[in-house]
Protein backbone atom coordinates (compact mmCIF):
# COMPACT_ATOMS: atom_id res chain seq x y z
CA UNK A 1 0.00 0.00 0.00
CA UNK A 2 1.69 3.20 -1.10
CA UNK A 3 1.80 6.36 -3.18
CA UNK A 4 3.32 7.26 -6.53
CA UNK A 5 7.04 7.42 -5.71
CA UNK A 6 10.05 5.76 -7.30
CA UNK A 7 10.98 4.39 -3.87
CA UNK A 8 7.60 2.69 -3.50
CA UNK A 9 7.81 1.21 -7.00
CA UNK A 10 11.30 0.01 -6.10
CA UNK A 11 9.88 -1.64 -3.00
CA UNK A 12 7.28 -3.57 -4.99
CA UNK A 13 9.89 -4.60 -7.54
CA UNK A 14 12.18 -5.82 -4.75
CA UNK A 15 9.41 -7.99 -3.30
CA UNK A 16 8.71 -9.57 -6.66
CA UNK A 17 12.39 -10.14 -7.47
CA UNK A 18 12.82 -11.80 -4.05
CA UNK A 19 9.99 -14.21 -4.83
CA UNK A 20 7.29 -12.80 -2.59
CA UNK A 21 3.70 -13.56 -3.52
CA UNK A 22 2.06 -10.11 -3.47
CA UNK A 23 -1.67 -10.61 -2.95
CA UNK A 24 -2.71 -7.07 -3.90
CA UNK A 25 -1.50 -3.49 -4.33
CA UNK A 26 -3.30 -0.33 -3.21
CA UNK A 27 -2.19 2.72 -5.21
CA UNK A 28 -3.50 6.28 -5.66
CA UNK A 29 -5.57 7.19 -8.70
CA UNK A 30 -3.58 7.95 -11.87
CA UNK A 31 -1.83 11.32 -11.60
CA UNK A 32 -0.56 13.18 -14.67
CA UNK A 33 2.08 14.89 -12.52
CA UNK A 34 3.71 11.54 -11.74
CA UNK A 35 6.27 10.18 -14.20
CA UNK A 36 5.75 6.59 -15.39
CA UNK A 37 8.61 5.36 -13.22
CA UNK A 38 6.82 6.80 -10.15
CA UNK A 39 3.46 5.17 -10.85
CA UNK A 40 2.73 2.35 -8.42
CA UNK A 41 -0.43 1.43 -10.32
CA UNK A 42 1.54 0.91 -13.55
CA UNK A 43 4.13 -1.20 -11.71
CA UNK A 44 1.37 -3.42 -10.31
CA UNK A 45 -0.20 -3.79 -13.75
CA UNK A 46 3.14 -4.75 -15.32
CA UNK A 47 3.58 -7.44 -12.67
CA UNK A 48 -0.04 -8.61 -13.06
CA UNK A 49 -0.68 -8.03 -9.35
CA UNK A 50 -4.32 -7.24 -8.45
CA UNK A 51 -4.78 -3.48 -8.12
CA UNK A 52 -7.44 -2.71 -5.52
CA UNK A 53 -8.65 -0.02 -3.13
CA UNK A 54 -8.26 -0.18 0.63
CA UNK A 55 -12.05 -0.53 0.82
CA UNK A 56 -11.70 -3.70 -1.26
CA UNK A 57 -9.30 -5.07 1.35
CA UNK A 58 -11.66 -4.41 4.25
CA UNK A 59 -14.50 -6.05 2.30
CA UNK A 60 -12.37 -9.10 1.51
CA UNK A 61 -11.44 -9.48 5.18
CA UNK A 62 -14.93 -8.99 6.60
CA UNK A 63 -16.93 -10.66 3.81
CA UNK A 64 -14.59 -12.97 1.88
CA UNK A 65 -17.49 -14.55 -0.02
CA UNK A 66 -18.22 -11.13 -1.60
CA UNK A 67 -14.65 -10.63 -2.86
CA UNK A 68 -12.47 -12.13 -5.54
CA UNK A 69 -9.37 -11.46 -3.43
CA UNK A 70 -7.72 -14.32 -1.60
CA UNK A 71 -6.25 -12.89 1.60
CA UNK A 72 -5.89 -16.18 3.45
CA UNK A 73 -2.49 -16.79 5.03
CA UNK A 74 -1.18 -13.25 4.53
CA UNK A 75 2.18 -12.92 6.29
CA UNK A 76 2.50 -9.14 6.47
CA UNK A 77 0.74 -5.95 5.40
CA UNK A 78 3.17 -3.31 4.10
CA UNK A 79 2.44 0.42 4.07
CA UNK A 80 5.06 2.45 2.18
CA UNK A 81 4.07 6.14 2.33
CA UNK A 82 0.39 5.15 2.36
CA UNK A 83 -1.65 8.30 2.86
CA UNK A 84 -4.62 6.99 4.88
CA UNK A 85 -5.09 5.71 8.42
CA UNK A 86 -4.98 1.91 8.51
CA UNK A 87 -7.62 0.42 10.79
CA UNK A 88 -8.57 -2.94 12.22
CA UNK A 89 -9.11 -5.60 10.88
CA UNK A 90 -6.49 -4.73 8.23
CA UNK A 91 -3.91 -4.02 10.93
CA UNK A 92 -4.36 -7.58 12.19
CA UNK A 93 -4.52 -9.29 8.78
CA UNK A 94 -0.84 -10.26 8.56
CA UNK A 95 0.41 -13.06 10.74
CA UNK A 96 3.56 -11.03 11.40
CA UNK A 97 1.70 -7.73 11.66
CA UNK A 98 1.36 -4.54 9.67
CA UNK A 99 4.46 -2.43 8.98
CA UNK A 100 4.72 1.20 7.92
CA UNK A 101 7.71 2.93 6.34
CA UNK A 102 7.73 6.53 7.53
CA UNK A 103 9.88 9.31 5.99
CA UNK A 104 10.92 10.77 9.35
CA UNK A 105 12.75 9.68 12.50
CA UNK A 106 10.54 8.18 15.18
CA UNK A 107 9.49 9.12 17.75
CA UNK A 108 10.78 12.65 17.07
CA UNK A 109 8.41 13.43 14.18
CA UNK A 110 5.07 11.80 13.46
CA UNK A 111 2.45 12.66 10.86
CA UNK A 112 2.97 15.35 8.23
CA UNK A 113 5.37 18.23 7.75
CA UNK A 114 8.54 16.58 8.94
CA UNK A 115 10.91 17.84 6.24
CA UNK A 116 9.57 21.35 6.65
CA UNK A 117 9.91 21.43 10.43
CA UNK A 118 13.40 19.95 10.39
CA UNK A 119 14.70 22.68 8.08
CA UNK A 120 12.69 25.49 9.62
CA UNK A 121 13.89 24.61 13.13
CA UNK A 122 17.48 23.97 11.98
CA UNK A 123 17.69 20.33 13.03
CA UNK A 124 21.20 18.86 12.69
CA UNK A 125 19.98 15.47 11.44
CA UNK A 126 17.03 13.67 9.88
CA UNK A 127 16.02 10.05 9.46
CA UNK A 128 13.56 7.43 8.22
CA UNK A 129 11.76 4.73 10.18
CA UNK A 130 10.12 1.33 9.93
CA UNK A 131 7.51 0.62 12.58
CA UNK A 132 4.61 -1.62 13.42
CA UNK A 133 1.20 -0.09 12.83
CA UNK A 134 -1.25 0.38 15.68
CA UNK A 135 -4.52 2.32 15.75
CA UNK A 136 -2.87 5.75 16.02
CA UNK A 137 -0.67 7.55 13.50
CA UNK A 138 3.01 6.57 13.68
CA UNK A 139 2.99 5.42 17.31
CA UNK A 140 3.61 1.65 16.98
CA UNK A 141 6.80 -0.11 18.03
CA UNK A 142 9.85 0.92 16.00
CA UNK A 143 11.71 -1.74 14.03
CA UNK A 144 14.54 0.55 12.98
CA UNK A 145 15.23 4.26 12.49
CA UNK A 146 18.11 5.31 10.23
CA UNK A 147 19.43 8.83 10.85
CA UNK A 148 21.72 11.03 8.77
CA UNK A 149 23.03 14.64 8.92
CA UNK A 150 21.22 17.54 7.26
CA UNK A 151 22.97 20.17 5.11
CA UNK A 152 21.76 22.98 7.35
CA UNK A 153 22.75 25.77 4.92
CA UNK A 154 21.31 24.39 1.68
CA UNK A 155 18.70 21.70 2.35
CA UNK A 156 15.19 22.19 0.97
CA UNK A 157 12.08 20.11 1.55
CA UNK A 158 12.55 18.73 -1.97
CA UNK A 159 16.22 17.83 -1.53
CA UNK A 160 15.55 16.25 1.86
CA UNK A 161 12.79 14.14 0.32
CA UNK A 162 15.20 12.92 -2.38
CA UNK A 163 17.75 11.91 0.23
CA UNK A 164 15.15 10.32 2.48
CA UNK A 165 13.46 8.24 -0.23
CA UNK A 166 16.60 6.28 -1.13
CA UNK A 167 17.24 5.56 2.55
CA UNK A 168 13.62 4.58 3.04
CA UNK A 169 13.85 2.13 0.13
CA UNK A 170 17.03 0.67 1.63
CA UNK A 171 15.23 0.28 4.97
CA UNK A 172 12.27 -1.38 3.23
CA UNK A 173 14.56 -3.86 1.47
CA UNK A 174 16.39 -4.67 4.71
CA UNK A 175 13.14 -5.20 6.61
CA UNK A 176 11.44 -7.49 4.10
CA UNK A 177 14.68 -9.41 3.59
CA UNK A 178 14.82 -10.02 7.34
CA UNK A 179 11.27 -11.37 7.20
CA UNK A 180 12.01 -13.45 4.12
CA UNK A 181 15.01 -15.01 5.86
CA UNK A 182 12.85 -16.00 8.84
CA UNK A 183 14.54 -13.50 11.17
CA UNK A 184 12.57 -11.82 13.96
CA UNK A 185 12.25 -8.06 13.65
CA UNK A 186 13.42 -5.90 16.55
CA UNK A 187 10.70 -3.96 18.36
CA UNK A 188 11.24 -0.88 20.52
CA UNK A 189 8.29 0.90 22.09
CA UNK A 190 8.12 4.61 21.39
CA UNK A 191 8.46 7.39 23.91
CA UNK A 192 6.56 10.69 23.58
CA UNK A 193 6.86 12.26 20.14
CA UNK A 194 5.73 15.24 18.11
CA UNK A 195 2.76 15.45 15.79
CA UNK A 196 2.21 18.46 13.50
CA UNK A 197 -1.45 19.18 12.79
CA UNK A 198 -2.64 20.43 9.41
CA UNK A 199 -3.42 23.82 10.96
CA UNK A 200 0.07 24.14 12.44
CA UNK A 201 1.63 23.06 9.16
CA UNK A 202 -0.21 25.78 7.22
CA UNK A 203 0.73 28.42 9.79
CA UNK A 204 4.42 27.54 9.58
CA UNK A 205 4.69 28.44 5.88
CA UNK A 206 3.51 32.05 6.36
CA UNK A 207 6.16 34.79 6.20
CA UNK A 208 5.46 37.70 8.56
CA UNK A 209 6.75 41.29 8.43
CA UNK A 210 9.53 41.67 10.94
CA UNK A 211 10.65 38.03 10.82
CA UNK A 212 14.44 37.73 11.19
CA UNK A 213 16.11 37.38 7.76
CA UNK A 214 17.67 34.04 8.73
CA UNK A 215 14.24 32.64 9.65
CA UNK A 216 12.74 33.82 6.34
CA UNK A 217 15.61 32.22 4.43
CA UNK A 218 15.07 28.92 6.26
CA UNK A 219 11.31 29.12 5.72
CA UNK A 220 11.82 29.54 1.95
CA UNK A 221 14.00 26.40 1.87
CA UNK A 222 11.76 24.52 4.30
CA UNK A 223 8.72 24.77 2.05
CA UNK A 224 10.36 24.54 -1.37
CA UNK A 225 8.65 21.59 -3.04
CA UNK A 226 7.08 22.51 -6.42
CA UNK A 227 4.28 22.42 -7.42
CA UNK A 228 3.09 22.87 -3.81
CA UNK A 229 2.83 26.32 -2.26
CA UNK A 230 6.09 27.36 -0.64
CA UNK A 231 6.79 29.97 2.00
CA UNK A 232 4.04 32.48 1.34
CA UNK A 233 3.04 36.07 1.76
CA UNK A 234 -0.47 37.23 1.00
CA UNK A 235 -1.11 39.93 -1.59
CA UNK A 236 -4.69 41.04 -2.18
CA UNK A 237 -5.94 37.87 -0.55
CA UNK A 238 -3.82 35.60 -2.73
CA UNK A 239 -0.90 33.52 -1.39
CA UNK A 240 2.34 34.18 -3.27
CA UNK A 241 5.32 31.83 -2.94
CA UNK A 242 8.72 33.37 -2.19
CA UNK A 243 11.85 32.25 -4.04
CA UNK A 244 15.43 33.24 -3.24
CA UNK A 245 18.38 33.60 -5.64
CA UNK A 246 19.69 30.11 -4.96
CA UNK A 247 16.39 28.52 -5.94
CA UNK A 248 16.13 30.78 -9.00
CA UNK A 249 19.50 29.47 -10.12
CA UNK A 250 18.31 25.86 -9.68
CA UNK A 251 15.17 26.61 -11.69
CA UNK A 252 17.26 28.17 -14.47
CA UNK A 253 19.44 25.04 -14.66
CA UNK A 254 16.35 22.80 -14.74
CA UNK A 255 14.86 24.89 -17.56
CA UNK A 256 18.12 24.74 -19.48
CA UNK A 257 18.41 20.96 -19.09
CA UNK A 258 14.79 20.56 -20.20
CA UNK A 259 15.48 22.55 -23.36
CA UNK A 260 13.48 25.61 -22.28
CA UNK A 261 15.80 28.28 -23.62
CA UNK A 262 15.28 31.55 -25.50
Q: How far apart are CA 239 and CA 242, in angstroms?
A: 10
Half-sphere exposure of 173 (CA within 13 A, CB side): 14
Asked whether 205 and 219 are in contact (CB, 8 A), the reply is yes
Regarding whether 210 and 86 lie in a shared domain, the answer is no
pLDDT of residue 65: 87
Tell whether 1 is covered by a domain: no
Q: How far apart are CA 153 and CA 141, in angstroms?
A: 33
User: What's the CATH code of the domain at 12?
Assistant: 3.40.50.170
Q: What is the mean pLDDT of the chain?
A: 95
Q: What is the pTM for the complete model shown?
A: 0.94
Tell whether 125 is covered by a domain: yes
State pLDDT tens for residues 129-172: 999 999 988 999 999 999 999 999 999 999 999 999 999 999 99
Domain that holds residue 229: 196-257
Regarding whether 163 and 137 lie in a shared domain, the answer is yes
Final residue in a domain of this structure, among 148, 171, 195: 195
Q: What angle is formed at CA 141 by the lines to CA 135 and CA 145, rounded to 5 degrees?
A: 125
Residue range 51-80: mean pLDDT, rounded: 93
Regarding whether 57 and 147 lie in a shared domain, the answer is yes
State pLDDT tens for residues 208-244: 989 999 999 999 999 999 999 999 999 998 999 999 9
Residue range 191-219: mean pLDDT, rounded: 93
Say what percent of the chain tops pLDDT 70. 100
Domain count, the chain: 2
Task: Assign 261 a pLDDT band (cuts: 50, 70, 90).
Answer: confident
Amino acid sequence: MGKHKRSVVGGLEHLLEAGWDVAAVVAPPPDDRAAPEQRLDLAAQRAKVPLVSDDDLYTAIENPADSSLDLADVDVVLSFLFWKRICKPLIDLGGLGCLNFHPAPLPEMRGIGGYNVAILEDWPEWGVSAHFVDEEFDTGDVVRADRFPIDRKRETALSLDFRSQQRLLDLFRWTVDQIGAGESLPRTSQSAGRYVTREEFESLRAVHPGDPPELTARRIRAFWYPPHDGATIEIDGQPVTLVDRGLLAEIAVAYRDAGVQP
